[in-house]
Chains A and B, each alone.
Chain A
């Protein structure tokens, strides 16, 4: 299929220019833009907190901010990055934009529900920002009891309400994705012709719907104990503090998969495209996504090996955590095998995707260190854990998010960005990331506990390296903001399919018309048929 230059007239971007036309839109593509703007704002707020944390840790003494401020900073960093950036990042922006386009539908199943989910997100965000302006919260993003319910003197309730509300936005998005993927596929789009990105959105939707209500319950119980002194978690009131940890991680471990499954979906779209190769083992990729989503519900207790949980429970959670790693390993091998006998080019999205595979591999393997019972006893609650989950959530999820933004930017905006700058930024992010987080593995093994405002002097060298890396990483994150915004005005017109990609979203103009497709396409071949496509294109 040749790329056709299409005038912007009639695109979803031109459906209305007033603020109200945006705030009242029910077009999934416009809602995706609303989400993209809001999560970007939150990303930089969370990033400011991270910057201050890394600055404080340059010296062993607690000299830049007070202990209280430091505790509020890492809480704010965690709460914002987890609930207001990472969880909604790929699903609510690219998922919202792409799910209907990729399956050949004109919108999501429930467009108004989709807009409601964005408003809930904003309302939750306002509560949280309110808590921050009012003076902050110092519980850590994990809200462990009885500290959060009976001992903290900060604005726990406002922050908890914010997270409670934003949870409903996840639930609505999840319902929308599940129903849309089941009921609104174009003719010929069978389950095993779905792009893997859609499989990952489906699995994410299931987790949203099943896990988030448990978080809501748990936060409600925190509120009840804190406000009314009803004993649920505080042993002084007859409660059980481990009950909180079980409930919290029953949500929050699957929530990690909400961050990584969409990232896997993105890599599965980008790697075949720039390898000009059919994805290796499509079906096992799809089943791996479902397996991760399902087994992911059964591993929460690996956060609690040293909590006082029974040692036999620890063993069950340990073996399940090893099992959930198998489908992840399969995916890594399959992406690698997709390169074999391909015709590979290294545009920016591909650099991000390959970076994702490498960093996710390190993050996944170190996760197994932590699933190993005797080893976790030493490494738990140290910087090793911090490094591990940043390799998954930043090295994995954020790299993939940036890859996705670069891959679908021409589709979303109709413009091309500077590939040279974009490749440069991808390399800066990769180098900065490793410099920031690799030293933290060593710090953790040496014994530095997490959430320490000051630390013994022998840990300084590694902390300085980490902070230096963080400043490189900050540059890497600011660069795309510049050249992507620049491209909106000065970028070349993209055409409908600048990457010669398969997939229905590339068969409609960029940016897509309000109705997505002039006429609903009919699907006649499996996804990622790059070899066949290149043969017929000549």
Chain B
């Protein structure tokens, strides 16, 4: 316990950029703080009560002019420095806001008090995340109950994980190792136990890990089974007698809604269509779909989402 590091490991492509920004801030804040403290101490000694220092001020008009110049200087200088720092941090943030298109997707469900993760190939993990070095990874996250936050200090990133919504986090790991994974948004009694590991592996080792995993079938296959189990196929399947939107080729497409607006059929759209079917009713269909709120767990729903995504390239069987 006596040797603690001065900075957390840097294990993502972003980490060094964040640290450089931090060091720049330390330098700037250090200079300003030391300058202020130096002036306070210097004046406190030089102008201490009873010292013989010269306390005469210039005549009023000259004093006022000089003071205005000083004031203007220390309004404008901090403002300019602050704008530079704002811009730097904002550009870095913006550049890392959207995941690259080729990122490997991994699904995350937070629940009191564990992390459940699932790879597209169907490998499931609890409180552990295995990722390869050098490949962008995108986490698609939601919560089963309260707000959590997925925090990996060595990657310098975190993102709150919300119930009823998908949030996203991405990174490219750069250094193999076993690192901390924390929940950083207070989520109840066992919040401090909602921790785990991020295991960064060489690509070959990662492939071996994927194959040796516990996956009997991929997420999409799992999702297809759920799709039948929850009765979705009864209406949305090819032989359905009910007038329900077809799901082949749906993902990523723009959907016209009954209220005249339109939306992109992304993960959120599919999630809400299952849980809150009255929210986005597709134009031309009756709002007859029942809500599955409280009946289907978030991780099962993710399998279904992945199944519907897998139908992306299938031709729509009918309609537009």
Contact = CB atoms under 8 A, between A and B. Distances in A.
Genuine A/B complex: yes
Contacts of B86: 318-319, 322, 371-372
Q: B interface, by DSSP: helix, strand, loop or mixed?
A: mixed
Contact of A458 (B1, B48, B190): B1
Given A144-B186, A344-B49, A446-B8, A354 B40 contact: yes
A40 interface: no
Given A374-B92, A375-B18, A381-B158, A325 B146 contact: no
Contacts of A538: none
A384 to B, nearest CB: 10
Given A306-B159, A306-B160, A281 B188 contact: no
A332 B36 contact: yes
Contact of B22 (A284, A344, A375): A375
Nearest to A362: B33
Contacts of A234: 163
B48 A344 contact: yes
Interface in B67-96: 67, 70-71, 74-75, 78-79, 82-83, 85-86, 88-90, 92-94, 96
Interface stretch (A25-33, A193-201, A447-455, A471-479): A447-455
Contact of A147 (B25, B83, B182, B188): B188
A451 B36 contact: no
B228 interface: no
A339 interface: yes
Contacts, number: 249
A445 B22 contact: yes
Interface of A is mostly: helix
B158 A147 contact: no
Interface string A186-214: 00000000000000000000000000000
Interface string A44-81: 00000000000000000010000110010000000000
Interface in B13-45: 17-18, 21-22, 25, 29, 32-33, 36-37, 39-40, 43-44
A322 B156 CA distance: 22
A377 B18 CA distance: 9
Contacts of B186: 71, 140, 144, 147, 450-451
B29 A451 contact: no
Contacts of B79: 323, 326
A341 B40 contact: no
Interface residues of A, number: 87
A336 B41 CA distance: 10
Contacts of B7: 445-446
A336 B36 contact: yes
A461 B3 CA distance: 9
A152 B71 CA distance: 51
B1 A457 contact: yes
B255 interface: no
Nearest to B168: A308
Interface in A267-326: 275-276, 280-281, 284, 306-308, 311, 314-315, 318-319, 322-323, 325-326
Contact of B74 (A329, A354, A445, A456): A329
Contacts of A332: 36
B276 A238 contact: yes
Given A322-B86, A377-B157, A445-B8, A147 B74 contact: no
Interface stretch (B115-123, B147-155, B199-207, B245-253): B147-155
B319 interface: no
A322 B211 CA distance: 50
Contact of A374 (B21, B40, B54, B190): B21
Contact of A375 (B2, B21, B193): B21
Contacts of A345: 48-49
A380 interface: yes
B43 A281 contact: no
Contacts of B37: 358, 361
Given A344-B47, A374-B89, A374-B93, A241 B162 contact: yes
B21 A326 contact: no
B294 interface: yes
B184 A68 contact: no
B237 interface: no
A140 B185 CA distance: 11
Contacts of A319: 83, 86, 90
Contacts of B167: 308
A337 B70 contact: yes
A454 B195 CA distance: 11
Given A306-B159, A341-B55, A375-B25, A236 B47 contact: no
A319 B162 CA distance: 26
A464 B191 CA distance: 22
Nearest to A340: B43
B33 A146 contact: no
A369 B93 contact: no
Contact of A380 (B97, B165, B184): B184
Nearest 10 CB-CB pairings of A with B? A235-B164, A447-B153, A372-B89, A373-B93, A339-B43, A374-B92, A365-B29, A381-B184, A449-B184, A452-B192
16 contacts: A144-B146, A276-B49, A281-B71, A306-B159, A307-B160, A311-B97, A322-B83, A326-B82, A336-B40, A342-B43, A343-B50, A358-B33, A362-B29, A368-B25, A372-B86, A374-B93
